[in-house]
Amino acid sequence: MFEKLKSAKGYPWVVVGLLWVVALLNYMDRQMLSTMQEAMKADIVELQKAEAFGALMAVFLWVYAVLSPFAGMVADRISRKWLIVGSLIVWSAVTLMMGYAQDFKTLYALRAIMGVSEALYIPSALSLIADWHEGKSRSLAVGVHMTGLYVGQAIGGFGAILAAALSWRMTFHWFGIVGVVYGLILILFLHENPKH
């Protein structure tokens, strides 16, 4: 069944659809923290200081920025499928663990790990899309994939609403669980292009 799916004519667009969801989760998970600051302050007092919260946001971006070129080199040498799956499962597990964090140091370390795992995604995903869309559909495929990033960022903005309804801890738990489960689904349905 899975081999038939991979050889189907429309499979290149299945790849875009599968990765669109990953892109959504990627930006949603990184955005949620910024919207839940108020809810988290009550439990983690260090977050009441603006500079501490700024450091928490910055560590992710610094790690992500420094590692992105290296992530591209890794994606040129290792299976993009497994980099994507591994990246998604790791950052989703980090999101899940953030719900258990009791102090600023733990959150800080988890955000740094998230920067490492998320840096691996974009180079791998764009390269895989380019392999499956060799002709005139390549730019459209990349453009469709990119919409997932921005939809995820917008959905991440609702983190504060969920934190108010469930608690910030449960919000991190549920989004983390969704990402891990989706990573397991990708193992079955996401494939490298056999031509490459």
Q: What is the pLDDT of residues 62-89, one digit of tens each?
A: 999 999 999 999 999 999 999 999 999 9
Q: Which of the pair, 142 or 163, is modelled with greater confidence? A: 142
In order of 16, 63, 89, 125, the CA distances from 20 in angstroms are: 6, 23, 16, 10
Q: Specify the pLDDT at position 195.
A: 79
Give the mean model confidence (pLDDT) for residues 116-141. Answer: 94
What are the pLDDT digits (tens) for 157-170? 887 788 888 899 99
Q: For the chain, give the mean pLDDT.
A: 91
Q: Which of 22-31, 61-70, 131-140 has the highest mean pLDDT?
A: 61-70
**Cβ–Cβ < 8 Å for 149, 24:** yes
**Cβ–Cβ < 8 Å for 33, 98:** yes
* Integer Cα distance of 75 and 56 in angstroms: 27
DSSP characters over 58-119:
HHHHHHHHHHHHHHHHHHTTS-HHHHHHHHHHHHHHHHHHHTT--SHHHHHHHHHHHHHHHH
Give the mean model confidence (pLDDT) for residues 2-14. Answer: 75
Q: Specify the pLDDT at position 2.
A: 52
* pLDDT value at 3 more than 80: no
pTM recorded for the entire structure? 0.91
**Cβ–Cβ < 8 Å for 128, 80:** yes
Those residues with Cβ within 8 angstroms of residue 107's Cβ, 6 or more apart along the chain or in another chain: 44, 56, 98, 101
* pLDDT value at 148 more than 80: yes
* pLDDT value at 7 more than 80: no
* pLDDT value at 55 more than 90: yes
**Cβ–Cβ < 8 Å for 61, 115:** yes
* pLDDT value at 12 more than 80: yes
Q: How confident is the model at residue 6 (pLDDT cuts 50, 70, 90)?
A: low
* pLDDT value at 4 more than 60: no
* Integer Cα distance of 122 and 39 in angstroms: 30
The rounded Cα 137 to chain-centroid distance in angstroms is: 24
